[in-house]
Amino acid sequence: MGQALDRVLTGKRILLGVSGSIAVYKAVELLRTLMREGAEVSVVMTEAATKFVAPLTFEVLSRKPVATDLFAAHQEMLHLTLPEEADVLVIAPATAHTLAKLALGLGDDLLSTMVLTASCPLIVAPAMDGGMWDHPTVQEHVAQLRARGVTVLDPIEGPLASGKIGKGRLTDEQTIVASIEACLLPARDLAGQRVMVSAGPTQEPIDPVRFLSNRSSGKMGYALAQAARERGADVLLVSGPTALPVPPGVRCLHVETAEDMAKALTTNFRWSTIVIMAAAVADFRPDKPSGQKIKKQTGAWKTLALAPTEDILHTLSRQRTRQILVGFAAETEALLPHARKKLQDKDLDLIVANDVTADGAGFGSDHNAATLLTRDCTSTALPLMPKRELADRILDALQPIIKRAAMPKPR
Ligand code: PMT
């Protein structure tokens, strides 16, 4: 906890939720550390937590009343106002019962109701007996919370209150504080990078009023552009037709066809240091689009001759000087073998393997699940999560590749 942390926590409003585990006493120390670092901390305790440590301890140290009761709090609407004012909500310790309530969206006390009304980042630090932590139900709840973008800090191994050794101890204070810091400090790890992102579908004209296209909404690519911008990159978005607003601070070139997209990307390729192809580019286009609207005719329209479009990523990989190339693979079967083949054929640094048939993922959805495959054969399976969060996970995975690319090559 160095100087950077002082700056990060000073004046920040942290809502500390405490639930009923033997580890409640560690929340007292956590509160003291956060206060020492200049944070303003409001504490909410579950009834069970008050059995371990009296609210008065937290009241004295936080210099604020401690809220415990949903109904008493209703008068001041604390279940709404406290989360609304908070920069981050941390639940430490979180019991198995609390995790279950959060996963299920229950709101039967002040803390769980606040979680439902909070829009700030949520960090959860579980503590329980080792056997409980390993229970499939608890693990399911943890997975659900993570998929929703909640930061769940794994408990650590060691002696437990039961006398057994196991994984269930509240993670160390430094880890909790570092996670709070990470939520509050916008990562600037892409400062100095020039990131070109393609997004959305292409539209390939059949005639002036009809076209061939696909189901891409552009959400994945726009989320990547926004995340890269927020992490300090200079971002150029090359977008097929979508209904989405361009994220603040992002330059955007709007294109329609695969040919337009290829032109925009190749023209700006030398400028870029990283290219992420999230667009769903048409592989074929009508060979001879009609200059006039094709008239309705009786009977079937038997054939529409199609010509292949340029494989843009392939072209870019042959022109690369120092650029890092990231592709997506939208697959409906044999996800990983197909994605690996594309990674190799297109000579990419990383490919995002996307099973577009998975429930709630892929085209049009606000969520996505993917496996990240890298050139050096690492594979990271990511569960269903908001596209904005997946965007960050993809950019996280680029960090070692960026570092390697920056290292001087051996002579
Ligand atoms: O836009 P959303 O609704 O948010 O949906 C997101 C998404 C499903 C479109 C996205 O996550 C995704 O998977 N994009 C890639 C879709 C695709 O075209 O995949 P592909 O497997 O056909 O192509 C492989 C890679 O080559 C892709 O990076 C693609 O951009 C690129 N490509 C494809 C064809 C072509 N002619 N030139 C290309 O460069």
For 174-192, what is each residue's pLDDT tens digit? 999 988 988 887 778 999 9
Among candidate residues 136, 161, 184, the one where a domain is terminated: 184
Q: Are residues 175 and 286 in the same domain?
A: no
Rounded distance from Cα 328 to ligand 1 centre (Å): 5
Mean pLDDT for the stretch of residues 44-61: 97
Per-residue pLDDT, 350: 98
The pair phi, psi for residue 41, each rounded to 5°, is -115, 130
Min mean pLDDT across 129-138, 173-182, 185-194, 222-231 is at: 185-194
End-to-end alpha-carbon separation of the chain, Å? 40
Per-residue pLDDT, 276: 98
Residue range(s) defining the domain that contains residue 161: 4-184
Q: Answer whether 279's CB lies under 8 Å from 313's CB.
A: no
Does residue 410 sit within a domain?
no
Reduced DSSP (H G I as helix, E B as strand, rest coil) percent helix, strand, coil of the chain, to 5 = 35, 25, 40
Mean pLDDT for the stretch of residues 127-147: 92
Does residue 295 sit within a domain?
no
For residue 333, how many C-alpha atoms fall within 13 Å in the half-sphere facing its CB?
0
Could you tell me the sign of the dihedral formed by the alpha carbons of 29, 31, 32, 36, in that order? positive
Among candidate residues 184, 202, 224, the one where a domain is terminated: 184
Q: Are residues 131 and 216 in the same domain?
A: no
Minimal-distance CA residue to ligand 1 atom 13: 330
Range picked from 202-216, 246-260, 293-307 for highest mean pLDDT: 202-216
Inform me whether the pLDDT recorded for 307 exceeds 50.
yes
Inform me whether the pLDDT recorded for 138 exceeds 90.
yes
DSSP annotation of 280 reads B
Rounded distance from Cα 400 to ligand 1 centre (Å): 24
Q: Are residues 200 and 170 in the same domain?
A: no
Say what the pTM is. Answer: 0.66
Mean pLDDT for the stretch of residues 195-210: 98
Q: Which CATH number is 41's domain given? A: 3.40.50.1950
Q: Are residues 79 and 104 in the same domain?
A: yes
Among candidate residues 134, 166, 184, the one where a domain is terminated: 184
Mean pLDDT for the stretch of residues 270-290: 97
β-pairing, 165-169 vs 156-159, is: antiparallel
Q: Are residues 135 and 198 in the same domain?
A: no
Inform me whether the pLDDT recorded for 6 exceeds 60.
no
Minimal-distance CA residue to ligand 1 atom 14: 278
Q: Answer whether 82's CB lies under 8 Å from 42's CB.
A: yes
How many separate domains does the chain show?
2
Inform me whether the pLDDT recorded for 42 exceeds 70.
yes
Per-residue pLDDT, 4: 42
Which ligand 1 atom sits nearest the alpha carbon of residue 331?
Answer: 21
Band of pLDDT at residue 383, cut at 50, 70 and 90: very high
Min mean pLDDT across 89-103, 159-173, 387-401 is at: 159-173
Question: Residue 174 burial (CB < 10 Å; 0-12/13-18/19+)?
Answer: exposed
- Measured CA to CA in angstroms, residue 230 lies from 17, 234, 307, 309, 344 at distances of 29, 10, 39, 33, 30
Q: Supply the residues annotated as catalytic.
A: 214
Q: Are residues 345 and 310 in the same domain?
A: yes
Inform me whether the pLDDT recorded for 2 exceeds 60.
no
Range picked from 270-284, 296-310, 354-368, 395-409 for highest mean pLDDT: 270-284
Q: Are residues 168 and 227 in the same domain?
A: no
- Measured CA to CA in angstroms, residue 240 lies from 4, 113, 179, 255, 281 at distances of 41, 41, 37, 5, 9
Range picked from 38-42, 158-162, 298-302 for highest mean pLDDT: 38-42
Inform me whether the pLDDT recorded for 336 exceeds 90.
yes
Which ligand 1 atom sits nearest the alpha carbon of residue 242?
Answer: 1
Reading the block at residue 398, the tokens are 């680029």
Q: Are residues 222 and 309 in the same domain?
A: yes
Q: Are residues 242 and 341 in the same domain?
A: yes
Give the C-alpha separation, 404 to 148, whole Å: 31
Who lines ligand 1 at CB under 6 A? Answer: 200, 216-220, 258, 277-281, 283, 309, 311-313, 327-330, 342, 354, 356, 362-364
Q: Is 77 left (phi over 0), alpha (psi -120 to 50) or beta?
A: left
Rounded distance from Cα 96 to ligand 1 centre (Å): 40
Question: In this structure, which amino acid lies at residue 287?
Answer: D
Q: What is the CA radius of gyration of the chain?
A: 25
Reading the block at residue 308, the tokens are 């292949």
Reading the block at residue 189, the tokens are 């790890």
Per-residue pLDDT, 411: 61
Q: Are residues 208 and 347 in the same domain?
A: yes
Q: Answer whether 128's CB lies under 8 Å from 168's CB.
A: yes
Q: Are residues 129 and 102 in the same domain?
A: yes
Per-residue pLDDT, 410: 63
Rounded distance from Cα 338 to ligand 1 centre (Å): 13
Mean pLDDT for the stretch of residues 223-247: 94
- Measured CA to CA in angstroms, residue 117 lies from 105, 339, 386 at distances of 11, 39, 18
Minimal-distance CA residue to ligand 1 atom 31: 313
Q: Are residues 334 and 259 in the same domain?
A: yes
Across the chain, mean pLDDT equals 93
